Amino acid sequence: MKYAAVILVFAVALGACSTEDETKLHAIATITEDDLSSHIEVLASDEFQGRMPGTEGETRTIEYLTKEFKRIGAKPGNGDSYTQEMELISLNPSVYDMITVEGEGGRVSLNYKDEFVAVSTATGQPAVISNAELVFAGFGIVAPEYGWNDYQGIDMEGKIAVVLVNDPGFYTQDSSFFNGRAMTYYGRWTYKYEEAARQGASGIFIVHETAPAGYPWQIVRKGWTGPQMYINKQEVLAQHCGFEGWINHEKAKEIFALAGEDYERMKDLAVKGEAGPTPLGLTTTLSITNTTETLTTSNVLALIEGSERPDEVIVYTAHWDHFGVDPSLEQEDKIYNGARDNATGTSALLELAEAFASLPKAPARSVLLLAVTAEEQGLLGSKYYVEHPVFPMRNTIAVINLDGLNIFGPMNDITLVGYGQSELDAYAENAAARQSRVVKPDPEPEKGRYFRSDHFNFIKHGVPAMYPSMGFDHREKGADYAREKANEWVEVYYHEPSDNYEPEWWDLRGAVEDIQLVFDVGYMLATSSHVPGWNAGSEFKAIREESFAKK
């Protein structure tokens, strides 16, 4: 795309442009489809071996990003270094090929990977859970603000919790109760694991159902059957159940039937908070032995230093990592190239760095381009950064996260995951209007995507976050086409070796528009003195206010 053409489009949208507007338009014009595609092609190539942390693929990724940030003119973002190194502990579990749930009425067998998965943080000795009783604990939630306690009146020591995925609001659709259709943190698997550990349970199984989980069983199988990574030994030693796992929906129904219960009836009771906890009168035995490995990995940080208030920062994040190579796959393609997820977002950081670096004068505030590691392993790179920040969280004005950009063409809209949470919505709406587009909320809030990418670690420290995602109103082919393509991608490409860069059908025009939009948002924030806050009613508002109180 020619720079002049891009400038003309934006000039028409803006009308008569001030000098500042023209400066911004020239910067926006550096964000092009050709540049974006060239970065994606490199990062998603077989040479980069799926960009798994701690591998040669990481080495090549770090070298490429560092080289490009230097070429663009962005400064090192961590003192005199472009990297922030951390140690990860990798635990590779060896699990029984089959477990058996037993009761007076018989037994139900579950096959590893296809019907159950389980991991453990045990090191040195195997994690052995022997003849532990299964207890149905509803959604596994303790939420005093809703008067809700799925563990009321039971001692879980030596027992295994069996819980439902998501939260009651998914089923009631009552927006005043657990946010209705929009998943709360209580619905996330991370919370359920944490709460089961607090209750003293020996283990926990979450029952997988695709609709309330927001992803199919294949994602669970992929995520919980290989090496599990933790930031350091302290995290490994932190409170966990003896094991943490999932069982599939069909096997759950068999287990409940063995206990003399109807799964759907018990789920209905759980939605009403009337399910118990209910001991199922069943037991199982499970053993997990971990092989431990220590590896070193790095975030990549590049900085556009502010000209007036350099200690205040706008952060753009994207994870550079993916799943590497799996030699055990029977198919020819064994490399998880992660082209859309997330070579697109990582490439966007390079485009944004170039746009900000092209400004004749740096904006008042600093802009940090943060390519984080180990997102696929549990948001670990961003977790490490917020615990060891270059800029204090109270000085971090906002974070904009880029993960899996639009590859299907131009849209009339852009989705904001978490819309309604903060004042950043207004910035996005202003930028979208200049493109003759509109901002829409996440059409599938039940999937809990607001808690599933790197911005969430910033949110937990009170930093307002913007998480843009592709729109669903295709400018040329309509909404049905956009929805069809989005669904197809989840079913065929998401977290699969098939996520390759395919220029013959990818249409990056929409991605370019989205990157230009988030540049506009970042530019407004970086040239302003305003500090955007959380909206009234947001559960993160108090955290931010406490952070400012310590300033």
Mean pLDDT of all residues in 434-458: 93
What pLDDT does residue 160 have?
A: 98
> Measured between alpha carbons, how far is 276 from 269 in angstroms, rounded to an integer?
9
Query: Please, how many CA atoms are within 13 Å of residue 45, restricted to the half-sphere of its CB?
Result: 11
Q: What letter would DSSP give residue 187?
A: G
Mean pLDDT of all residues in 336-355: 98
Mean pLDDT of all residues in 110-126: 93
Residue 27 has pLDDT above 70, yes or no: yes
What pLDDT does residue 545 have?
A: 86
Least confident of 19-33, 81-95, 324-338, 535-549: 535-549
Least confident of 74-78, 98-102, 327-331, 513-517: 327-331
Mean pLDDT of all residues in 116-144: 94
* Per-residue pLDDT band at 140 (split at 50, 70, 90): very high
pTM: 0.89
> Measured between alpha carbons, how far is 248 from 114 in angstroms, rounded to an integer?
8
Note the CATH architecture for domain 91-292: 3-Layer(bba) Sandwich (3.50)
- Angle at alpha carbon of residue 242, lines to 238 and 248, rounded to 5°: 120
Tens digits of per-residue pLDDT, 230-284? 887 666 667 789 999 999 999 999 999 999 999 999 999 999 999 989 999 999 9
The segment(s) of the chain belonging to CATH 3.40.630.10 are 31-72+305-549
Rg (Cα) of the chain, in Å, rounded? 24
Q: Which residues pair with 132 in a beta bridge?
A: 284
* Per-residue pLDDT band at 100 (split at 50, 70, 90): very high
Strands 438-441 and 413-417: parallel
The segment(s) of the chain belonging to CATH 3.50.30.30 are 91-292
Place of tokens 């990297």: 83
Residue 131: cis peptide before it, omega within 30 degrees of 0: no
What percent of the chain clears pLDDT 70, i.e. is strictly above it?
A: 95
**Helix/strand/coil for 23:** helix
Q: What letter would DSSP give residue 14?
A: H
What pLDDT does residue 11 have?
A: 44
Q: What proportions of the chain, in percent to the nearest 5, are helix, strand and coil?
A: 35, 25, 35
Strands 278-304 and 365-372: antiparallel
Residue 10 has pLDDT above 70, yes or no: no
DSSP-H helix ranges across 117-209: 169-172, 189-198
Mean pLDDT of all residues in 62-77: 98
For residues 157, 159, 165 and 167, what is the CA-based torsion angle, rounded to 10 degrees? -40
User: Nearest 5°: phi and psi at 97?
Assistant: -65, -25
* Per-residue pLDDT band at 448 (split at 50, 70, 90): confident
Place of tokens 């819980």: 163
Structure tokens at 95: 């699990």
* Per-residue pLDDT band at 478 (split at 50, 70, 90): very high
Strands 278-304 and 127-136: antiparallel
What percent of the chain clears pLDDT 90, i.e. is strictly above it?
A: 82
DSSP codes joined into one string, 384-417: HHHHS-SS-GGGEEEEEE--S---B--BSEEEEE
What pLDDT does residue 237 have?
A: 62
Mean pLDDT of all residues in 18-41: 92
Contact between residue 121 and residue 147 where contact means Cβ atoms under 8 Å apart:
no
> Measured between alpha carbons, how far is 158 from 132 in angstroms, rounded to an integer?
6
Among 141, 144, 391, smallest CA distance to 275 is for: 141
Tens digits of per-residue pLDDT, 194-229? 999 999 999 999 999 999 998 899 999 988 998 899
**Helix/strand/coil for 282:** strand
The CATH number of the domain covering residues in 31-72+305-549: 3.40.630.10
Residue 441 has pLDDT above 50, yes or no: yes
Least confident of 171-180, 288-297, 402-411, 452-461: 171-180
> Measured between alpha carbons, how far is 292 from 77 in angstroms, rounded to an integer?
32
Residue 286 has pLDDT above 60, yes or no: yes
Tens digits of per-residue pLDDT, 364-409? 999 999 999 999 998 999 999 999 999 999 999 999 999 999 999 9
CA 152 to chain centre: 31
What pLDDT does residue 16 have?
A: 37
